[in-house]
Structure 1
């Protein structure tokens, strides 16, 4: 059984989705929200297993909301626009449904769901876990606690280590699933940094975000949405 949250600024769209979900008794409509901000409140106070969310909404968009959905909570985008599909799957969406939603497409999307609570206790890589990386003509096993940063570059990710920069064929979303959020911080949609590698935080003049300066001198942009969370990482009281 999945406790579902429906997020769409259009009441008729939510009503249509509720009608379609009647054919799937495993989906229980636990809550509705007409904005991203309202959805965040529902996620904070209700047990939600699955979120259906629109993308184009006033205020917080569906893509922005997805970045704040708790780990283990699955989500499916329901939108009239197909231009955001790549962004959606980079955020690890279960599926991307185009409105008007066809019943058979909804059924296929629900077949992709993990069992509810399957990720209640996520398994993160240990700090001493070794990763085989290529540097020039040689390969080296680098421990996770030696990596200071993962940077998204197309369908690859750059890995920054004391031995130089290497590349792995993986999306940042897949990498994030394996990293303990107590040790690594998602600075933006393009970067994940090891928290203990941050030596300084500076304001970014342009967009109200921050710049995280790492111990090796790298400067990593922190999005405005993530800036407050980064400050909280270093707040003891």
Structure 2
């Protein structure tokens, strides 16, 4: 099994050292390197990449923010000097989390965790016109996904905001997110997913680095600092 690899780190020496370590693994072929998240995104669009090795602390676009934009069929392993981001990394479905300086034994274990390229299935997202049966008071109504403006986590339930009012479904936000096309819905924080086309305005939030997404129906949704840059990219066409 051969893996086409991309190395992403703003430090040239760090990329060189990782490339040296990977030379011991013939199944890993480094076909490209990037010094920034933006450069990495460009390379991901140009090449068919199987595995991305990425740093976390990088200017402009962090490794965590970059991971949100890595194609679903591409696996990624974090290589960082900081251990404080491990929880966030695994929430993003990282294969592994390696601390610098990288120990060869740990790198070996990480490579062993990689799945065969052909075994990674593309995610199945619900269509915009998919209907969900929701309860409003004493009646039930089929609401299409493109009518829903927001999913909000409330304990082990999720509130669903629609033009017909607010309803609730017995499901976690994580399970809902797996079914939603990221081209249509955006995870603003651990508590909220919003429909991108429902966002009318974006303003700075009180919390430093965060944003406030104002929806067509007037709802104000906090966007976490980690997701703020990602939301700006959603509306950056040029």
For the aligned pair, the TM-score class normalised by the smaller chain equals 0.7 to 0.9
Which residue does the alignment assign to 1:15? 16
Which residue does the alignment assign to 1:47? 48
| Range with greater deviation from structure 2 (219-228 or 73-82) | 219-228
Query: What are the superposed Cα offsets for residues 193-225 of structure 1, whole Å, 9 maximum, x if unpaired?
Result: 2356x2x5123144685524154x532245343
Which residue does the alignment assign to 1:112? 113
- Asked if 1:213 is matched to 2:233, the reply is no
Q: 1:81 and 1:75 mapped to 2: Cα distance? A: 17
Which residue does the alignment assign to 1:30? 31
Which residue does the alignment assign to 1:227? 232
Unaligned 5+ segments in structure 1 are: 134-139, 233-237
Q: Relative to structure 1, is the Cα distance of residues 106 and 10 closer, same or farther in structure 2, using a 3 angstrom cutoff? A: same
Q: 1:190 and 1:57 mapped to 2: Cα distance? A: 26
Q: Give the superposition deviation at 1:82.
A: 0.6
Q: Give the superposition deviation at 1:152.
A: 5.5
Q: Relative to structure 1, is the Cα distance of residues 25 and 39 closer, same or farther in structure 2, using a 3 angstrom cutoff? A: same
Q: Is the 8 A contact 1:147 1:159 kept in 2?
A: no
RMSD after superposition: 3.5
Q: Give the superposition deviation at 1:36.
A: 2.0
Q: 2:63 and 2:28 mapped to 1: Cα distance? A: 20
| Range with greater deviation from structure 2 (185-194 or 145-154) | 145-154
Q: Is the 8 A contact 2:202 2:211 kept in 1?
A: yes
Q: Give the superposition deviation at 1:153.
A: 7.1
Q: Give the superposition deviation at 1:96.
A: 0.8
Q: Relative to structure 1, is the Cα distance of residues 182 and 69 closer, same or farther in structure 2, using a 3 angstrom cutoff? A: closer
Which residue does the alignment assign to 1:168? 171
SS in 1 for 2:107: helix
| Range with greater deviation from structure 2 (40-49 or 79-88) | 40-49
Q: Relative to structure 1, is the Cα distance of residues 189 and 169 closer, same or farther in structure 2, using a 3 angstrom cutoff? A: closer
Q: Give the superposition deviation at 1:231.
A: 7.4
Q: 2:86 and 2:70 mapped to 1: Cα distance? A: 18
